[in-house]
Structure 1
Amino acid sequence: MTQRDIFFVANEVNELGGVGRWQPQMAGLLAERGHRVTVVGIAPANHPMDLGDQPPFRTVTLYARRPPGRPRPRRTLGRLDPAVRRHEIHMRAAASRLSTLFQAARPGAMIIVPQVWAMEWVALADTAGHPVIGMTHESFETSRKSSRFARVKKYYKDVDRLLALTREDADRWAVEGMNNVGFMPNPLSIEPGTPSPRTEKVVANVGRLSHEKGVDLLLDAWAEAAPKQPGWTLRIYGRGEAEAQLRQQCARLGLEDSVDFAGQTDDVPGALRASSVFVQSSRGEGFPLVLLEAMATGVPCVAFDCAPGVREIVTHEEDGLLVRPGNTSELARHLVRLMSDAHLRDTMGDRALHNVRRFDPDVITQRWEALFDFLER
């Protein structure tokens, strides 16, 4: 196996969130195989995640403070606008630090850019001939509804490979003219082990309390489900900007006795093993790690089928239940099915524990190694 210099260049080194959790895991897996890994962040994290005392990779952050957004040029001046020119000078200065890192790398190095904002700096850098792998960690549909869609098409069109999270999303990017596209699922972030006994009357939800995660929809569904299964608790783990509004909604729906806002947890597997059902009510997702984690603890999942990554992970009526996006009554019915039927919970939970092994970290890391070898040819 070729030992390589591998660079991850992302918005931040250790931002709390999906990419923030995936990046140190993937960097660590590659470092364990003998690669020399550097994780580069454009800016410091707003909500930093602890990487431990001695992560097996080097970290570099280009800016001491988050740089301002690209100014909109005044119509009469265009790119001659002094504010635009100052912004470009600062970007090029930061990109020169990337150039220095890339130029010092050994032959066979790989540059992985998991977020398109970071790609704006990589595009200005001298990549020294090393292959560049761009990634989009959200579904095609979610990207299409945001400003990132045009930026993915602009900044990733000439990279050596653009990776989506699923084949379905890769095909949709190909229809958009991206002829360099492939797909790579996320690896399982915890080792499948002792499953939940699935005896606690707890439905768990884990994620940021934001509009995108749809906890407001979950509360509406819980208002239908809870009266049909007295004694069950919906335990919501997470913090976020929507928390106060969600607590008000909970009170308005009269759910305070059956909903527990448990705050952020540093022990997601423990929280999942203390539950019997996991529910995800997101409006949009990429390849949700917490679904993998729930399955790895033997907890059956009920989830809105809001992205190809969700149905890539959960097989409906086999190891979990999928719900039409936004349909809170259907979500309530599926929750009640699992809450009321211990045999169904056990059957689906056991299948989930078995099926999730296809995302074993060794399997996914070998796929990355194969991609590196292919791009080096």
Structure 2
Amino acid sequence: MTQREIFFVANEVNELGGVGRWQTQMARLLAERGHRVRIIGVSPPEVAMDLGPNPPFETLTLYDRRPPGRHPRHALVDRWDPALRRQEADRRAAAERLSRVFRAARSGAVIIVTQVWAMEWVALADTAGHPVIGMSHESFDASRRSSRFERVRTYYKDVDRLLVLTQEDADLWVGAGLNNVGFMPNPLPVTPGSPSPRTEKVVASIGRLSHAKGVDLLLDVWAEAAPLQPGWILRVYGAGDHEAVLRQQCTELGLDDSVEWAGQTDDVTGALRRSSVFVQSSRGEGFPLVLLEAMACGVPCAAFDCSPGVREIVTDGEDGLLARHGNTSELARHLVRLMADENLRDTMGERARQNVRRFAPDVITRRWEELFDFLER
């Protein structure tokens, strides 16, 4: 195995959220295999994730504060605007700092750009002949509904490889005109020693209390399911700006006795092992880590089929149950099935625990190393 210098270039070094968790895990996995790993962030995080004591990788942040976005120029006079000229000078100075880091790297180094905003700086830098891998951590459809769609097509069209999360998403990007696309699933974040006993009458939800995560839809789901299975609790882990509105909705639906607001947790495995069913009601996802974690804990999942990543992880009817995107009544029926049938929970939970091993960290890390070797040829 060739030991390499590997650069992750991201919006932030230790961003709180799924991309940040993935990046930190991959940096650790590659460092543990003898690679020299550095994470470079464009700006400091608004809310930082704890990297733990003595992380096995180096970090660098280009700016002391978040730089403004680049705005299209509509008139010739804009180029003489002193503020815009300072911003552009700062951007080029940050890109030159990146260039110096890349030029100092030895042959065989690889640059992984984990988010397209960060690619705006890498595109200005001298990558010194090192392969550049660009990444999109969301589904094609989610990207198409945002400003990131055109930025991906602009900034990633000339990288050595654009990686998305599933083959289905890769095919869609090829159809959108990119010919350098591959896919790489996320690795399993945890490998618990023992599964949930699935004896608690608890359905768990874990995620930000935001519009994207669809907790409002989940409360509608629970309003249908809970009366059919008395004694069960919906335990909602998470925090966010929508919490007050969601709590009010919960009260208006008469669910206060069967919904527990557990707040944000750093112990996802512990939360899952204290539950018997996991539910995800997101309006959109990439390759949700918490589904992997639930399956690794032997907890059967009921979820909206909201993206290729979800159906790549969960095999409907075998190791979990998928409802049509946004169909709250169908998701409620799936929850009732799992709550009512202990044998079904145990069967699906054990299958989930076995099936999710195809995303084991060593499996995914080897796939990354094989890609590095291929791009070096």
* TM value normalised by structure 1: 0.98
Structure 2: how far apart are the matches of 1:163 and 1:300? 29
Structure 1: how far apart are the matches of 2:319 and 2:227? 26
Which runs of at least 4 in structure 1 moved beyond 4 Å after TM superposition? Answer: none
Q: By how many angstroms is 1:80 displaced?
A: 4.3
Unaligned runs of 5+ in 2: none
Aligned twin of 1:2: 2
Aligned twin of 2:112: 112
User: Which segment drifts farther, 191-200 or 1-10?
Assistant: 191-200
Q: How does 1:39-188 map to 2 (within 5 A)?
A: 39-188=39-188
| Residues 1:352 and 2:352 aligned together | yes
Aligned twin of 1:235: 235
Give the letter aligned to residue 253 of structure 2: L
Structure 1: how far apart are the matches of 2:364 and 2:140? 21
Structure 2: how far apart are the matches of 1:354 and 1:20? 26
Contact 2:42–2:118, Cα closer than 8 Å, also in 1: yes
Cα deviation per residue 1:192-242 (whole Å; 9 max; x = unaligned)? 431111110000000111100000000001001001111100001011111
Question: Aligned Cα RMSD in Å?
Answer: 1.0
Contact 2:192–2:269, Cα closer than 8 Å, also in 1: no
Structure 1: how far apart are the matches of 2:318 and 2:77? 60
Q: How does 1:206-221 map to 2 (within 5 A)?
A: 206-221=206-221
Contact 1:193–1:296, Cα closer than 8 Å, also in 2: no
| Residues 1:35 and 2:35 aligned together | yes
Structure 1: how far apart are the matches of 2:94 and 2:51? 24
Q: By how many angstroms is 1:72 displaced?
A: 4.6
SS of equivalent to 1:213? coil
Unaligned runs of 5+ in 1: none
Aligned twin of 1:268: 268
Structure 2: how far apart are the matches of 1:211 and 1:24? 26
| Residues 1:284 and 2:284 aligned together | yes
Structure 2: how far apart are the matches of 1:104 and 1:54? 24
Q: By how many angstroms is 1:78 displaced?
A: 4.6
Structure 1: how far apart are the matches of 2:87 and 2:180? 30
Q: By how many angstroms is 1:70 displaced?
A: 2.0
SS of equivalent to 1:337? helix
Aligned twin of 1:326: 326
Q: By how many angstroms is 1:86 displaced?
A: 2.1
* TM value normalised by structure 2: 0.98
Structure 1: how far apart are the matches of 2:241 and 2:180? 37
Identity %: 76
Contact 1:192–1:353, Cα closer than 8 Å, also in 2: no
